[in-house]
Structure formats: structure tokens, C-alpha cells
């Protein structure tokens, strides 16, 4: 894996919209699992923190690369996708992917999908709006995997996120969440106390240098989607 820009030069996560008063774009290239991605990030007050590729998303892509994931035939939904980098990689690795975020982020995601998916690709990702706790019932409950990178950051949104996860996850669903573990945002409480009420969750990867953890969760009655090295 390689990339040429670190969007987390500081430990700030939720940046005030005023910092994006002037709109500009940045294009960066990443390589995971033999796939080269060209990701455009549009920094503006409209997109705010949905604009950058955050380190937790890079870490989740690295994790999939390290574990040699094969998503062929898997139905996958990404929550709070921002740039769409995770969902795009999963689609390139064979997944049947739906990439979601709030409506303001969809144009950026669609641009990146169009820039990275081969013409005539049979598993071209779908890009859809999904507001947690509001329109999650417009989506099915039988995905193989539900993914999220740095979506655990604002405590007021946790109940809606949990309701959404509860709806999206059937008995055959596995969730992967990658998070910067900022105590001031309640991330530790979310993973230690709140998420376990809904899912059987376990820590599967820890990056102490970046303070990033990746958790895998399943409905408590179902064995998790097995990674390549575990088969």
C-alpha cells in the first residue's frame, strides 16, 4: 500500500465549516491489494469533514490488503463514506457494493466511483443517501458486510448509528468499523459499552501510533465472515 498525503496532520477530527470557506480540490493516489485508486477530495463548507480521506479509512483498506480479503459475491454497504475510498476498493476486489452518506457528499463519491471503476464493470457501486436513524428502513437487512471508517466521532449521533446498524445487520452480516479512538468524542465508551448491546464485537487490529482500532461485529447468534487467513 502507498499514498502521498496525510489528511490528519493534526489530531483534529471534526473541523469547523469556516475553515473550508474557500473551495479547493486535491487529488491523491493510493494503492491497496494491487489496485491503484485516484481519489478527489473537495474541501468546502458544503462538504466539511466529508472531504478528506481520513487515516482510519486508509487503515481499513490496509487491513483488507493485509488479510487478503476476497469480496467476490459479497453484498456490502459502506456507511458515512465521505470520499468512498473503502467502498470503491471493496468493489474493485469483487464486492457488490452500496456506498452511502448524506446527500451533500454524494457528488464527491460519485466522481470517485466514476474515476476508479473500469468501463463496463459488472459490479459498479451504487451511491445512495442514507441519514442514520431516519431512512435506514429504505435499505435491506441482509448485507454480508457493513463497513464504516471514522464514523464514530459525534456522541449525539450514536443512538441513530446504532439503530441503523441494528436494522442493516441480519444473522449473516459482519460489521467492520475503523476508528480513531478519541476519548473526547466518546469513542471508547461507544465500543466498550454501547455497541456490545447490539453486536458481538471484538478488536481485530490496533495501530497504537495512530490510535486507530478496527472492530469486527456480528449478531450474537451468527459466526463472523471469515477472513482469508482464517479459512
pLDDT attached to residue 174: 97
Rounded (10°) CA dihedral 149, 150, 153, 158: 0
Which residues make Cβ contacts (< 8 Å) with residue 4, sequence separation at least 6? 28, 29
pLDDT attached to residue 17: 43
**What nine digits make up the cell of 224?**
463472523
pTM: 0.84
Low-confidence residues of the chain: pLDDT under 70: 1-22, 44-51, 221-231
8 A C-beta contact, residue 148 and residue 100: no
pLDDT attached to residue 21: 53
Amino acid at each position: 500500500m502507498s499514498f502521498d498525503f496525510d489528511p490528519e496532520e493534526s489530531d483534529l477530527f471534526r473541523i469547523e465549516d469556516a475553515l473550508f470557506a474557500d473551495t479547493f480540490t486535491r487529488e491523491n493516489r493510493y494503492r491497496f491489494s494491487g489496485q491503484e485508486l485516484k481519489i478527489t477530495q473537495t474541501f468546502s463548507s458544503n462538504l466539511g469533514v466529508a472531504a478528506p480521506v481520513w487515516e482510519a479509512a486508509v487503515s481499513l483498506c490496509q487491513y483488507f490488503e493485509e488479510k487478503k480479503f476476497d469480496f467476490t459475491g459479497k453484498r456490502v454497504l459502506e456507511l458515512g463514506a465521505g470520499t468512498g475510498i473503502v467502498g470503491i476498493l471493496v468493489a474493485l476486489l469483487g464486492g457488490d457494493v452500496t456506498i452511502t452518506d448524506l446527500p451533500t457528499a454524494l457528488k464527491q463519491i460519485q466522481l470517485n466511483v466514476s474515476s476508479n471503476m473500469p468501463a463496463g464493470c459488472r459490479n459498479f457501486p451504487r451511491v445512495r443517501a442514507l441519514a442514520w436513524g431516519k431512512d435506514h428502513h429504505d435499505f435491506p437487512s441482509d448485507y454480508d458486510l457493513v463497513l464504516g471508517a471514522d464514523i464514530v466521532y459525534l456522541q449525539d449521533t450514536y443512538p441513530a448509528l446504532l439503530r441503523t446498524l441494528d436494522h442493516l445487520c441480519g444473522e449473516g452480516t459482519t460489521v467492520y468499523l475503523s476508528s480513531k479512538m478519541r476519548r473526547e468524542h466518546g469513542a471508547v465508551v461507544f465500543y466498550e459499552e454501547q455497541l456490545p448491546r447490539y453486536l458481538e464485537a471484538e478488536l481485530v487490529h490496533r495501530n497504537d501510533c495512530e490510535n486507530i482500532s478496527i472492530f469486527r461485529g456480528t449478531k450474537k447468534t451468527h459466526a463472523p465472515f471469515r477472513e482469508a487467513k482464517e479459512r
